[in-house]
Structure 1
Amino acid sequence: MSNSLATIASPCSGVCQLDPAGLCLGCRRSGQEIAFWRQMSDAERSRYMHEILPARGWQPVVPAGE
Structure 2
Amino acid sequence: MKVADKVRSPCVSICALDAGDVCIGCHRTGDEIIRWSRMTNDERRDVLVQVARREAKAAL
Larger Rg: 1
Equivalent runs, 1:1-66 vs 2, <5 Å: 2=1, 4-5=2-3, 7-49=6-48, 51-57=49-55
- Give the distance between the partners of 1:47 and 1:31, measured in 2 at CA: 16
Q: Which runs of 4+ in 1 moved over 6 A?
A: none
State the TM-score, normalizing by the size of structure 1.
Answer: 0.73
Counterpart amino acid of residue 48 in structure 1: V
Residue by residue over 1:31-62, the C-alpha shift from the partner in whole angstroms, topping out at 9 and shown as x without a partner, is 1110100111001111222x11100016xxxx
For this pair of structures, how many residues does the alignment match?
A: 55
Contact 2:32 2:47 (8 Å CA) reproduced: no
Deviation at 1:21, TM superposition (A): 0.8
Q: CA RMSD in A?
A: 1.5
Identity, in percent, stands at 33
